[in-house]
Amino acid sequence: MDLDLLKKKSPLPFYHEDDIIFGDEKIGEGGNSSVYDGKINGKCCVIKCVEVRSNHYFDLELYELKVAAHLNNTKQVIKTIGFSYYSEDDINYYLLLMELLTKHGDLYDYIQNKPTWTTSRMYDNDLIPYPKNDYVYYNSDDNIYWCYGMDLQEKINIVMSFTTAMNELHQKKILHGDIKTNNLIIYHENNIPIVKIIDLGMASFKKSKKLINIQVRYGTKGYRAPEQEKYKLHYKSDVYSWGVTVIEIWNGDIWSRDSNDSFKSNRKDILNKLKVIEKNHPSFGKLLRDSINMNVYKRPYMNTILKRFNKISFIHGHK
């Protein structure tokens, strides 16, 4: 497929490069793409810029544009405005243009930049000062313990918004394929955190609830489900990623610096952090353990997860 055919078949409009102004700074990057703030005809937007090495990319992009257009009427998935294309110094660039939200960054950055993190060090087998809760992450590089102090109610609100967003996505018959804190944007309305899902590059229409074969390993190490490691995908693969992401939200961090980044090692890190949640919130911990079951068919669907989460009683004052 060439650019002219993409313009003709795309459900979203094409914008000429002269209508687009890039912001001064890069606001994100990943893989072969960079993300900037900018403007289209004077209106603020986000610009995802991808270097295009083959016309084959347009086949993939047409699919992404169709998925994006299908999701443009949702409340908690990023809205896509259109696309563009330009050449510079014999290099071709594809631009995906999306809504700009008043936000705090992606959820990973939001968690890491919270001022509620405190530090402790080990002296004579005692942590000084002693952590205020059980959500402690050890940084072996610096030999320091970080305690995550996000308020319980804020955690509940973020997880509720995230779970609602995931349920909305699946109700639209779309499987994301790469859920993680980096692919979630957080902002606030009336002091309530709102989570929106971004990065639809691996998302796909999926009417069937059967396990399907895939050509590449969708997702990100640590967050992706065991079946994804074996080139298979299911709606409940997103459920596994939801569970890992929630465990990260609750603990502030998951991954040990000593991990060798294998599935087994990452799984060990996940389970270690899950045990802390189970200790403090048994029913919530049970829901999370069910969501990361190694057997894809034993995981609940997102609509069931949302119902179960709504019924959990979190004891305020509890860790």
Instruction: Give the three-class secondary structure for 165.
Output: helix
- Which amino acid is located at 91 in the chain? I
Burial of 191 (0-12, 13-18, 19+ CB in 10 A): exposed
Tokens describing residue 184: 């979630």
Categorize the per-residue pLDDT at 207 as very low, low, confident or very high, splitting at 50, 70 and 90.
confident
Tens-place pLDDT, residues 49-83:
998 877 677 888 999 999 999 999 999 999 999 99
| pLDDT greater than 50 at residue 317 | no
Nearest Cα neighbor of 167 from 249, 63, 66, 238 is 238
Categorize the per-residue pLDDT at 255 as very low, low, confident or very high, splitting at 50, 70 and 90.
very high
Q: What is the mean pLDDT of residues 16-44?
A: 88
User: What pLDDT is stored for residue 110 in this prediction?
Assistant: 95
- Which amino acid is located at 173 in the chain? K
Tokens describing residue 227: 């079946």
Q: What is the mean pLDDT of residues 258-274?
A: 91
Q: What is the mean pLDDT of residues 244-273?
A: 93
Residues forming a β-bridge with 186: 195
Q: What is the pTM of this model?
A: 0.94
Same fold, 3-98 and 152-311: no
CATH architecture of the domain 152-311 equals Orthogonal Bundle (1.10)
Tens-place pLDDT, residues 157-200:
999 999 999 999 999 999 999 999 999 999 998 889 999 999 99
User: What pLDDT is stored for residue 33 in this prediction?
Assistant: 84
User: What pLDDT is stored for residue 316 in this prediction?
Assistant: 54
Whole-number average pLDDT of the chain: 92
CATH label, 3-98, candidates 3.90.1300.10, 3.50.50.60, 3.90.1150.10, 3.30.200.20: 3.30.200.20
CA angle 62, 88, 6 (to 5 degrees): 15
| pLDDT greater than 70 at residue 285 | yes
Given the structure tokens 């001022």, which residue do they identify?
Answer: 115
Query: What count of residues does the chain have?
Result: 319
CA angle 246, 247, 248 (to 5 degrees): 85
Spell out the domain ranges in the chain: 3-98, 115-147, 152-311
Tens-place pLDDT, residues 118-164:
999 999 999 999 999 999 999 888 899 999 999 999 999 999 999 99
Element (H, E) at 51: strand 43-52
